[in-house]
Chains A and B, each alone.
Chain A
């Protein structure tokens, strides 16, 4: 079985400050890792994913996440946030033996960016 822990339910930050949203997981099998974002009143959108290869993955809007197998973590970072980054962020894992059919989500972290 898999579980995903997002310890921070809410992260307040000022605009242009750096931010890190933490994600740890546990699994008895190897997993793929995802970050999804949910903007106010919108559906979930894929932000970035780690399938294989380089452990550092980037999104088109400046977020990056690094897969750390020894620490079973996949923290999301951004060096300088914008007001428009205010959203709920969900970390998720998918066991490699399920063909991407099973996503297990964390409880989400609400990022609040203020001027």
Chain B
């Protein structure tokens, strides 16, 4: 299984600012995913990021608000832009290999927006 790290592990931010979350994997992976887990709610897929192509966003999520980079096969970033208190969530990245049947998750980034 892949070992995934995320930075930062948590942060407290002011509204109107932006935060970039990093996801690092210890092996090359085809697919990387970003999820949001709002308080008391389930995980929701934000977007899928494959290296060499634009991220694919799920309904309700847009690139201007959540720009994603995927510069290589072991790294991705998610930026939460122009934050508001409603963006307070845990953000998780996960990885999967093409044809593999399991996604592996990072430890998450706990974001609080004041």
Contacts and interface: CB of A to CB of B under 8 A. Distances in A.
Contacts of B101: 32, 49, 51, 100
A104 B40 CA distance: 16
Contacts of B42: 4, 90, 105-108
B102 A43 contact: no
A42 B102 CA distance: 18
A101 B96 contact: yes
Nearest to B100: A100
Most-contacted residue by chain B among A4, A32, A90, A100 (CB, 10 A): A100
Interface residues of A, number: 23
A107 B40 contact: yes
Interface of B: 4, 31, 33, 40-45, 48, 92, 94, 96, 98-108
Contacts of A92: 43
A18 to B, nearest CB: 26
A99 interface: yes
Interface in A73-115: 90, 92, 99-108
Interface in A30-74: 32, 34, 36, 42-46, 49, 51
A26 to B, nearest CB: 14
Contact of A43 (B44, B48, B105): B105
